[in-house]
């Protein structure tokens, strides 16, 4: 199982709640569309604002082939492009367990 986590810092000039809602809508909308997704949740930071990033996606895939399929899927590419307009930074980690 591959665990995929991406976190972002939101742009300060945009409404925080609206940005999180849009990111959640974009990414959860991929479930059922991108077959490789086994689970996907969008979570909001609740501690240490200004130190922690604001929002993250936590997803799982059967294997690296599934993660790769997700990364290049046109619907994911479109979602990622829109998310880039809502954030100022991104961090990611993928691990296998």
Instruction: Please tell me the predicted confidence (pLDDT) of residue 97.
Output: 95
Are 84 and 6 a contacting pair, CB within 8 Å? no
Residue 75: give the domain boundaries. 2-96
| Band of pLDDT at residue 88, cut at 50, 70 and 90 | very high
Mean pLDDT of 32-56: 97
User: How wide is the angle at C-alpha 96 spanned by C-alphas 92 and 97, nearest 5°?
Assistant: 130
Provide the number of structural domains found in the chain.
Answer: 1
What is the pTM for the complete model shown?
Answer: 0.96
CA distance 92 to 90: 7
Mean pLDDT of 49-77: 97
The DSSP secondary structure of 4-45, one letter per residue, reads EEEEEEEPTTS-HHHHHHHHHHHHHTTBTTBTTEEEEEEEE-
What is the overall mean pLDDT for the chain? 98
Rounded to the nearest 5 percent, the helix, strand and coil shares of the chain are 35, 40, 25
CATH assignment at residue 12: 3.30.70.100
Are 87 and 10 a contacting pair, CB within 8 Å? yes
Mean pLDDT of 84-93: 98
């Amino acid at each position: 199982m591959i665990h995929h986590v991406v976190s972002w810092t939101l742009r300060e000039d945009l409404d925080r709640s609206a940005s999180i809602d849009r990111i959640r809508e974009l990414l959860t909308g991929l479930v059922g569309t991108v077959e490789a997704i086994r689970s996907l949740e969008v979570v909001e930071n609740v501690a240490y604002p200004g130190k922690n990033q604001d929002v993250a996606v936590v997803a799982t895939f059967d294997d690296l082939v599934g993660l790769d399929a997700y990364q290049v899927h046109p619907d994911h590419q479109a979602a990622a492009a829109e998310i880039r307009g809502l954030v100022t930074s991104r961090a990611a980690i993928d691990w296998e367990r």
